[in-house]
Structure 1
Amino acid sequence: MAVNAAERSAMDRALQLARRGPRGVNPQVGAVLLSPDGTVLAEGWHHGAGTPHAEVDALSKLAPGEARGATAVVTLEPCNHTGRTGPCAVALIEAGIARVVYALDDPGAASGGGAERLRAAGVDVEAGEQAAAAHALIDGWLTAQRLGRPQVTVKWAQSLDGRAAAADGSSQWITGPAARADVHRRRAEADAIAVGTGTLLADDPALTARDGGDLLPHQPIPVVIGSRPAPADAAVHRHPHTPLFFDTHDLHAVVADLHARGVQSLFVEGGPTLASAFIEAGLADRVLAYLAPVLLGGDRLALTDIGVASIAEARRLTVEEWVPLGPDLLAIARPAEPHHTPTDEGAA
């Protein structure tokens, strides 16, 4: 049975509802319940970890029996497992839902399979309606599910000769206003932003995302990695979010902790030691290198040791885009092939 106009319209609405939910451990999901004649009976969305899923949220707004024979339009395949809440597939079956239209298959080994369970119970199921839009909505969550950690972007700014700072350590500003505005826009797209304690002590960064002097609506959670303590008056303490401090050099442990907190994307701001450590650990999914037409010389390199001893071990990148930003140039690149660390091999 093809998707009809009322169901397509309901999926549009379900995608809008999904955006109301928070980004986090669980995906953003929206649901709309339709009567057999296409009238909207109820709407719902997932309000966060531990709360009813979108389908159950919508069902809770109806009287017992009112959903019998109805159609559920959902942005993600109804789940098929018991976590903090019960399986949505079972809730739909017990409510008497006759048809389910959903956009994306649930990729979870435990949570997937809801469509099969629904069909086995005699529910008509249609998958794939507006799948691209649904994928774009929860792309960060899907990536984090696949990786088992946040997607990591490593950013640095450098002179044309590969330096991150002048001989005296000063680095403000290597790049111009257009490049700096681009950085702030990309910060605002991330769930968290990380620096090492060296950068925190040297530059006292606020780790906010700004448009000029104004804070942008979304602010990444500040993350500080390293063993040196932050001064009590450090700017990061005035961030809208409480900063997270990790007194460790184990980056795999850091990203695992962030993943458990629901962080889907991590923006590594620096400095060179931390950026190099993420690359060496094979945790850099994307690189943003801002190149300024200036020469600095000296030994303040944008990257330090990344575990490359010979040209055969070079970390090859695929440049996806070159972006002119005033006099500067941004290279957006991804690893040409996944880097396998000893930790990866040991877990295989």
Structure 2
Amino acid sequence: MRPDDAFYMDRALELGRRGLGNTWPNPAVGCVVVRDGDIVGEGWTQPGGRPHAETEALAMADDRARGATAYVTLEPCAHQGQTPPCTDTLIAAGIARVVAPFSDKDPRVSGQGFARLREAGIDVTTGVGADSAAVDHAGFFLRTELGRPLVTLKLATSLDGRIATASGDSQWITGPETRAHVHHLRACHDAVMVGAGTARADDPLLTVRGPDVPKQPVRIVVTRRLDIPRDSKLVSTLPEAPLWLCHGDDAPAEARAAWQALGAILIRVPLVGRQLDIGALMQALGTQGLTRVFCEGGGELAASLFGADVVDRLDLHMGGVIIGAEGRPALGALGLEKLSDAPRFHLLSVRHIGEDVVQSWTRQRRQSQA
């Protein structure tokens, strides 16, 4: 590792994050080409997963890539997909050295890219920026290894942990600055998910509002019997953003036909008792190619996600308001009897956004008891 490797890798990681939410099922990769201490090419994976970051950066560098170093936030691919292997592109460009955090866990790559580069006489350095890259690629790796996307759960609560008054009024617990931040979080995920109760009560759009949105996230509603309004904002905005409905085997045939005619994508999920099997639902979303899902509630769906142990990240947005015990809780029942069985999280950050406090947490894996 050279003294300036971390600096250029940080830039590559910054570029790669521009693709989060837009590149699925491919990873969001960044690439920087450096020659004689100058950045001569930059790129990141484009919406839809192609062109790849290496192709973009090498196109900018042009002839200056010969003898240069390429900093890539994931092992370059070595297989032929809808685009040629990035290893071949790097070799053809005359790159002398490749720096990357680690191997790609996709079995089609998994060390083969590094091997091909070394066979071509290219120096390969790994381990640079590995911790940050692991966070950025967590969703892609989860889908590769476990078949499901990463799940970020957002809860907007009062200081006493309520998400609405007893009558259901929840607009607005948090301020406009925090709500703008939510749009940024949506944009960084492949899909936004809510339960049927939230869809009925709030009639949400679930789109990203703001300039320069390259690709709207998929809108997902978990609705066992497809009993959400067909004259909703979700339907009127179908030309702008896709709508997926996750339903059970007992959803009426008439409702299925009606939603398909409107243009929604239906995903059938098996039942466990009277509830959708959340584990199977996540596997189904992974099969569809999703790597990152942003869940915005409500309380029953959030409790189901915790019960299935699939909440990987938790964003808690707290507004400076007190609602009281009669208000609606942020979570439905978890059925816990022992504190040792409770889901636990590590605190990553605490920020003030406007008048609100935003906490970000990451999942703490459960350990078997002796």
Quickly name the TM-score band, shorter chain normalised. Answer: 0.7 to 0.9
Q: Partner of 1:310 in structure 2?
A: 338
The TM-score normalised by the length of structure 1 is: 0.72
Report how far residue 317 of structure 1 moved: 3.0
Paired residues of 2:27 and 2:49 also in contact (CA < 8 A): no
Report whether the alignment pairs 1:102 with 2:99.
Answer: yes
Q: Distance in 2 between matches of 1:18 and 1:180?
A: 21
Report how far residue 122 of structure 1 moved: 4.0
Distance 1:168 1:68, change over 3 A: closer
Q: Partner of 1:222 in structure 2?
A: 219
Query: Equivalent residue of 1:164, what SS?
Result: strand
Paired residues of 2:147 and 2:287 also in contact (CA < 8 A): no
Q: Distance in 2 between matches of 1:182 and 1:294?
A: 22
Unaligned runs of 5+ in 2: 248-268, 270-275
- Look up the equivalent residue of 2:309 and give its one-letter code: G
Q: Partner of 1:343 in structure 2?
A: none
Task: Map Cα deviations across residues 120-142 of structure 1 (whole Å, 9 max, x no partner).
Answer: 45444344667788667656545
Q: Partner of 1:234 in structure 2?
A: 232
Report whether the alignment pairs 1:331 with 2:327.
Answer: no
Distance 1:74 1:26, change over 3 A: farther
Task: Map Cα deviations across residues 35-94 of structure 1 (whole Å, 9 max, x no partner).
Answer: 9x9999999875566867565788999xxxx9998657351433234555565446666x
Query: Equivalent residue of 1:270, what SS?
Result: coil
- Look up the equivalent residue of 1:323 and give its one-letter code: R
Paired residues of 2:348 and 2:362 also in contact (CA < 8 A): yes
Which is higher, the Rg of structure 1 or of structure 2?
A: 1
Q: Partner of 1:346 in structure 2?
A: none
Q: Distance in 1 between matches of 2:175 and 2:344?
A: 28
Distance 1:310 1:191, change over 3 A: same
- Look up the equivalent residue of 1:293 and give its one-letter code: V
- Look up the equivalent residue of 2:213 and give its one-letter code: P
Q: Partner of 1:287 in structure 2?
A: 314
* 1:247-262 equivalent positions in 2, closer than 5 A: 247=247, 248=269, 249-262=276-289
Q: Distance in 2 between matches of 1:56 and 1:324?
A: 39
Task: Map Cα deviations across residues 171-202 of structure 1 (whole Å, 9 max, x no partner).
Answer: 22333444433333333333211111111112
* 1:172-251 equivalent positions in 2, closer than 5 A: 172-210=171-209, 217=213, 219-227=216-224, 228-239=226-237, 240-247=240-247, 248=269, 249-251=276-278
User: What is the CA RMSD across the aligned residues, in angstroms?
Assistant: 4.4
Query: Equivalent residue of 1:206, what SS?
Result: coil
Count residues in correspondence: 331
Distance 1:294 1:123, change over 3 A: closer
- Look up the equivalent residue of 1:188 and give its one-letter code: A
Task: Map Cα deviations across residues 113-163 of structure 1 (whole Å, 9 max, x no partner).
Answer: 222233245444344667788667656545654654322111222334433
Paired residues of 2:192 and 2:218 also in contact (CA < 8 A): yes
Query: Equivalent residue of 2:346, what SS?
Result: strand
More deviation in 188-197 or 24-33? 24-33
- Look up the equivalent residue of 1:259 and give its one-letter code: G
Query: Equivalent residue of 1:290, what SS?
Result: strand
Paired residues of 1:288 and 1:331 also in contact (CA < 8 A): yes
Unaligned runs of 5+ in 1: 341-348
The TM-score normalised by the length of structure 2 is: 0.68
